[in-house]
Amino acid sequence: MTDWFAVSCVLNGTRLPLTPDERKAVVRRLEHRLINHGEPPRLTDVTVERVAELLGCTTRTVERIKQSLPQADRLSCPICREDMWVLLEDGIVEAHPDTFYQRCPMSGEVFEADWEVELANTAVWLSQRLKAGDVLGVWEYLETVQTSHLRRVLVAALAGFSDEVDPFSWLKEAA
For residues 106 and 123, which CB has a smaller minimum distance to Zn ion in the complex? Answer: 106
Tell the smallest beta-carbon distance from residue 103 to Zn ion (Å): 9
Tell the smallest beta-carbon distance from residue 2 to Zn ion (Å): 13
Tell the smallest beta-carbon distance from residue 67 to Zn ion (Å): 26
For residues 54 and 104, which CB has a smaller minimum distance to Zn ion in the complex? Answer: 104
Tell the smallest beta-carbon distance from residue 84 to Zn ion (Å): 5
For residues 47 and 121, which CB has a smaller minimum distance to Zn ion in the complex? Answer: 121
For residues 47 and 107, which CB has a smaller minimum distance to Zn ion in the complex? Answer: 107
Q: By the criterion CB under 5 A, which residues form the site for Zn ion? A: 77, 79-80, 104, 106
> Residue 134: CB partners within 8 Å, gap ≥ 6?
100
